[in-house]
Copies of this chain bind each other. A is one copy, B any other.
Amino acid sequence: MAKPTRSSSSPVPPEMVDGFVEAWGRMGSVWGISRTMAEVHALLYITGDAMCTDDVMSALEISRGNASMSLRALLDWGVVTRAHRRGDRKDYFQAEQDVWSIFRAIVRERMKREVDPLLVSLHEIRDRSGDGAASSSGHDRMDEMIEFLEMTTRLADRFVGPSGPGLRLAATLLAKTPGGKSKKDSGEEKSA
């Protein structure tokens, strides 16, 4: 019962784990998180195993502090959950396995952290900048931007809110709709 993680169901080839961890880690910036945090998530996702801090530490060769911080942050993002083992004092961590849930969690968090505060700022700025009668001129672009962000927020709320399958449905629908010619129409049609 040394280091190895306990497998829940499937034997993923080690080179696949390594490759996925590396590729996903590089993606970290897309999410607005650090490389290591993305790597920890990659490890938990691709293996599907529940791991304790030490498992993560040795698998990725990172310090205890870093592993702890990264796992906590992933919990905050809602893409990893804590799991206890009867008769074991360690915490185990498991990644959400449904890609759509992962995506929704990410969108939700990023909106919350990045768009919402921006909108607050923009409203403040607009309201502060002469909301009297003489101010009807220069607000066009500000207003357009605010309106756009609010629209986006509403859209995201809908996708990401309690109506989980809503997004899946809408996306599938839109993706399969025929019509307009896309960039690569040439030879690469998907088999319907």
**Range of interface residues on chain A?**
35 or more
Q: Closest chain B residue to A141 by CB distance?
A: B46
Within 8 A of B (CB), among A25-50: 26-27, 29-30, 32, 45-46, 48
- How many angstroms between the C-alpha atoms of A162 and B172 in the bound complex? 20
Known: A122-B23, A148-B99. A13 touches B138 (CB 8 A): yes
If A13-B138, A26-B117, A27-B114 are given as contacts, then 19 extra A-B residue pairs at C-beta distance below 8 Å, sorted by A number, are A11-B137, A15-B125, A15-B129, A16-B126, A19-B121, A20-B122, A23-B121, A24-B118, A27-B118, A30-B32, A151-B172, A152-B171, A154-B182, A155-B171, A162-B180, A162-B182, A162-B183, A166-B180, A170-B174
